[in-house]
A and B are shown apart, each in its own frame.
Chain A
Amino acid sequence: MEIVPIFAKHLFAVRYDEDDPDEFEKLFTQWSDIEYLEEFFETHKRDIENGFYRNTTVEDAVFITKDQASQLEQKLKQLSTFPIKSLPESLDRLFRPLDKNLTENELAKSKAYGFPSPSWLRVYAIKVSQETFIVTGGAIKLTQYMSERDHTAIELRKLNRTIDFLKEQGIIDREGFEELEF
């Protein structure tokens, strides 16, 4: 596992395997890959037809995702040009605690949403300090709880795996990254 800088010493991403791209790069590549999206929504057709986002066709889902990912990417690109001083505050607004009971000031598992709201896009990160986030992955979340689907349950495991790694490396030493069910 390796930590890769995204921009300005405030946003990082995990690379789990040295032959793979980092998780941040991988997310935006997947969300602009029509083959990946068509296959994904075909597999999760039931969730988009009957779940929270009911009556959505595979075609709509693919192009909504592509569009929302593009808007999120633009927003992040803008952030990358912000003055270093204002960046931590902006990142803090973008990433919210995964556990809604926590305040933004606490170090925690975090998530950013796609645009516009409501969006099923999620970017998951660990907030390791008031001004530093490490992206562990992301997902198209179609159900209320992450544990309900394999592809989102994996993201929970990635968050926990990264926390263990950061603890081993002495980057974080605080307890409080409990195994939570989302």
Chain B
Amino acid sequence: MSTLQEKLNSITAKEPSKWLENAQWRENNAGWLDKSAKIAFKILRELRAKKISQKDFAIQLGLSPQYINKVVKGQENLTLETISKIEEELGLCLIHVPGFSGINMKIHAASDNIGSVNKDIVKSESIKYLYQPDHYQPETEKTFINEQIAAYGN
């Protein structure tokens, strides 16, 4: 009479599960996968709130639906270019570099056109997040923006 192990062997696939290989990959890439997951979640919530399908979003960005699906699964090692495109399209901030004030960079970049920068600042959700990521207060922000323009303008 065959043992349990022999019986099991007779009905067991030769190829082992891919789990171990995948687990190793997840461990090796944990750093960027963690960031990718957070970005994916923000995008998904925004798409849900705005009732935009992944397919339509892909069209808006000029990217393939397959690529966007990988992004929202949190499995894509995104480039800064793609992140910026998505931020612009959805009007939200996905990444923030600590120690940098977004307003200074924006104002320097467009120092010949302070008026339009000011307009952009008020309009853009992504820039709002850069100023007050935790407790956004429009009035405080407007004062802050005006102070910055006064300091760096002209």
Q: Residue on B with the closest CB to A22? A: B17
Q: Does B100 contact A (CB under 8 A)?
A: no
How far, in whole Å, are A161 and B77 apart by their CA atoms in the complex?
A: 39
Contact flags B69-90 to A (C-beta < 8 A → 1, else 0): 1001111000000000000000
Q: Is the interface of B mostly helix, strand, loop or mixed?
A: helix
B23, B69, B72: residue with the most chain A Cβ atoms closer than 10 Å:
B23
| Interface residues on chain A, number (Cβ under 8 Å) | 40
How many A-B residue pairs lie within 8 Å, measured between CB atoms?
Answer: 100
With A9-B5, A73-B23 known as contacts, the answer to whether A3 contacts B69 (CB < 8 A) is: no
> Which A residues are in CB contact (< 8 Å) with B17?
4-6, 13, 21-22, 24-25
Pairs A-B, 9 closest by C-beta atoms: A34-B74, A34-B40, A25-B19, A35-B72, A3-B12, A6-B17, A5-B16, A35-B73, A38-B44
Shortest Cβ gap from A46 to chain B (Å) = 17
A182 within 8 A of B: no
Q: Evaluate contact between B19 and A6: CB separation under 8 angstroms.
A: yes
Known contacts A28-B23, A32-B26; 8 additional CB pairs below 8 A are: A4-B13, A28-B19, A33-B74, A38-B41, A63-B41, A74-B27, A132-B5, A170-B7
A interface residues (Cβ-Cβ under 8 A, vs B): 2-7, 9, 12-13, 15, 21-22, 24-25, 28-29, 32-36, 38, 42, 58-59, 62-63, 66, 70, 73-74, 76-77, 80, 128-129, 132, 169-171
Whether the Cβ atoms of B4 and A70 lie closer than 8 Å is no
* Residues 1 to 33 of chain B near chain A (Cβ within 8 Å): 4-5, 7-8, 11-13, 15-20, 22-24, 26-27, 30, 33
* Neighbouring A residues of B33 by C-beta, 8 Å: 32
Q: Are A35 and B40 in contact (CB under 8 A)?
A: yes
Q: Which residues of B contact A33 (CB under 8 A)?
A: 73-75
Chain B residues near A76: list those with CB within 8 A: 23
- Which A residue sits closest to B1, measured CB to CB? A170
Interface of B toward A, CB cutoff 8 Å: 4-5, 7-8, 11-13, 15-20, 22-24, 26-27, 30, 33, 37, 40-41, 44-45, 48, 69, 72-75
Q: Which residues of B contact A73 (CB under 8 A)?
A: 23, 26
For B73, list chain A residues within 8 Å (CB): 33-36
A7 contacts which chain B residues (CB < 8 A)?
Answer: 16, 20
Q: A4-B12, A6-B16, A171-B11 are in contact. Are A29 and B22 (CB under 8 A)?
A: yes
Min CB distance A42 to B, Å, is 7
Q: Which residue of A lies closest to B7 (CB)?
A: A171
Assembled-state Cα–Cα distance A25/B15 (Å): 13
Contacts of A38 in B (CB 8 A): 41, 44-45, 48
24 contacts between A and B (CB under 8 A): A2-B11, A3-B11, A5-B13, A6-B20, A7-B16, A21-B17, A21-B18, A25-B17, A28-B22, A29-B22, A32-B33, A33-B75, A34-B41, A34-B72, A34-B74, A35-B40, A36-B73, A38-B41, A42-B48, A66-B37, A73-B26, A170-B7, A171-B8, A171-B11
CA distance A24 to B72 in the complex (A): 22
